[in-house]
């Protein structure tokens, strides 16, 4: 069944050409599959295209032109109507995702699979607005997508077992290692990871130096990168939003976001992408 589905997956639609969408587009194209990537404006697509070209060059990929030929950039969702799989990578707002899923459900052929790259939002809620809830699944890639090996497959109470098996085979085709996670806020990785990042922010708020905290976790817990440096890489705003999703999803005070994170976001100190977070970047 999985192999048959993989053979049928000749075209993938990626919605969103930001950091995650561009990375997903790249790895799918590198796996030999045609990709249509859609975003709102030509400017967004140009930025995404440059990200992909820069990433391929950084990785030392030789068949760059062949990979680029498999990618179609578009501002029209309709250009991806023949896709066997769609992966959405738009902002982490459930209302936006549900609105998109309604459009995708009407646009795509009935056998197409709809997947979300969400890091914390309900797959079941997204599937409920479609007429194919059993064919909706979470495919949570990690950043940077071309480098990180993990693909977290998120299974809602509606997702068919056949689609789960297909997703595992698809992940392997992309060269990823997969884990299966249940559809609860934060899934597996972020539910464990993000509270640690939050606690590190509390330590900074209490007067501890970021470098000392990161050094302690790297040497004492054998982590390859400290939690505050990681927060800066991910984006302080993304960390805060994920915490808010966990807090709202579980109604549990242990997920209460650190006030310092809120102040940093309000000040525009979002990490590496803005040049300043817990550290400063040139």
Residue-level length of the chain: 282
DSSP for 197-243, please give it.
HHHHHHHHHTT--HHHHHHHHHHHS--SS-HHHHHHHH-HHHHHHHH
**What is the C-alpha to C-alpha distance for residues 31 and 172, in angstroms, rounded to an integer?**
10
Q: pTM for this one?
A: 0.92
Phi, psi of 162 (to 5 degrees): -65, -40
48 and 140 fall within a common domain: yes
Q: Is-contact 219 237, C-beta < 8 A? A: no
Active-site residue identified among 120, 122, 127, 190: 190
**What is the C-alpha to C-alpha distance for residues 88 and 24, in angstroms, rounded to an integer?**
10
257 and 149 fall within a common domain: no
Active-site residue identified among 55, 117, 120, 140: 140
**What is the C-alpha to C-alpha distance for residues 79 and 110, in angstroms, rounded to an integer?**
17
Q: Which are the contacts of 239, defined by CB distance < 8 A and separation ≥ 6?
A: 194, 197, 198, 201, 231, 261
Tokens 């587009």 correspond to 25
Whether 156 is covered by a domain: the verdict is: yes
Q: Compute CA 17 distance to the chain's CA centroid, rounded to the nearest angstrom.
A: 12
Q: Show the tokens assigned to 83.
A: 């896709």
Q: What is the pLDDT of residue 8?
A: 66
Whether 280 is covered by a domain: the verdict is: no
213 and 131 fall within a common domain: no
Active-site residue identified among 55, 84, 116, 119: 119
Q: What is the pLDDT of residue 143?
A: 87
Q: What is the pLDDT of residue 208?
A: 98
Q: What is the pLDDT of residue 85?
A: 97
3-state DSSP percent of the chain in helix, strand and coil, to 5: 50, 15, 30
Q: What is the pLDDT of residue 50?
A: 97
230 and 98 fall within a common domain: no
Q: Mind listing the pLDDT tens digit of every residue in the chain (282 residues)?
A: 455 566 668 899 999 999 999 999 999 999 999 999 999 999 999 999 999 999 999 999 999 999 999 999 999 999 999 999 999 999 989 999 999 999 999 999 999 999 999 998 999 999 999 999 999 999 999 989 999 999 999 999 999 999 999 999 999 999 999 999 999 999 999 999 999 999 999 999 999 999 999 999 999 999 999 999 999 998 999 999 999 999 999 999 999 999 999 999 999 999 999 999 999 998
Whether 210 is covered by a domain: the verdict is: yes
146 and 236 fall within a common domain: no
174 and 211 fall within a common domain: no
44 and 84 fall within a common domain: yes
Among candidates 79, 87, 75, which has minimal Cα distance to 112? 87
Containing structural domain, residue 29? 2-182
What is the total count of domains within the chain? 2
109 and 73 fall within a common domain: yes
Q: Is-contact 164 180, C-beta < 8 A? A: yes
15 and 144 fall within a common domain: yes
Q: Provide the CATH number for the domain around residue 108.
A: 3.40.50.720
Tokens 């998120």 correspond to 154
Residue 119 known to be catalytic: yes
Residue at a domain's end among 162, 182, 202: 182
163 and 231 fall within a common domain: no
Residue 222 known to be catalytic: no
Sign of CA dihedral 69, 70, 73, 77: positive
Residue 206 known to be catalytic: no
Residue 140 known to be catalytic: yes
Q: What is the pLDDT of residue 282?
A: 86
Active-site residue identified among 116, 120, 152, 158: 152
Q: What is the pLDDT of residue 2?
A: 57
């Amino acid at each position: 069944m999985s192999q048959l589905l993989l053979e049928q997956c000749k075209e993938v639609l990626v919605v969103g050409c930001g950091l995650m969408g561009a990375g997903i587009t790249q790895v799918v194209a590198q796996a030999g599959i045609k990709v249509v990537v859609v975003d709102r404006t030509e400017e967004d697509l140009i930025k995404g295209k440059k990200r992909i070209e820069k990433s391929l060059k950084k990785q030392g990929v030789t068949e760059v032109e062949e990979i680029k030929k498999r990618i179609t950039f578009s501002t029209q969702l309709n250009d991806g109507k023949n896709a066997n799989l769609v992966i959405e990578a738009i902002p982490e707002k459930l209302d936006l995702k549900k609105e998109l899923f309604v459009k995708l459900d009407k646009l795509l052929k009935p056998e197409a699979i709809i997947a979300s790259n969400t890091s914390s939002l309900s797959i079941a809620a997204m599937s409920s607005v479609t007429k194919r809830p059993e064919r909706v699944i979470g495919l949570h890639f990690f950043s940077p997508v071309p480098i990180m090996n993990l693909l977290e497959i998120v299974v809602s109470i509606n997702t068919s077992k056949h689609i789960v098996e297909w997703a595992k085979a698809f992940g392997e085709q992309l060269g990823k290692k997969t884990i299966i996670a249940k559809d609860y806020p934060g899934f597996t990785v972020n539910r464990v990871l993000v509270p640690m990042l939050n606690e590190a922010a509390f330590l900074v708020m209490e007067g501890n130096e970021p470098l000392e905290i990161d050094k302690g976790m790297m040497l004492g817990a054998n982590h390859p990168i400290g939690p505050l440096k990681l927060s800066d890489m991910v984006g302080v705003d993304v960390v805060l939003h994920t915490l808010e999703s966990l807090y709202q999803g579980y109604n549990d005070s242990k997920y209460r976001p650190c006030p310092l994170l809120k102040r940093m976001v309000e000040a525009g100190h979002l990490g590496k992408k803005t040049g300043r977070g817990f550290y400063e970047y040139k």
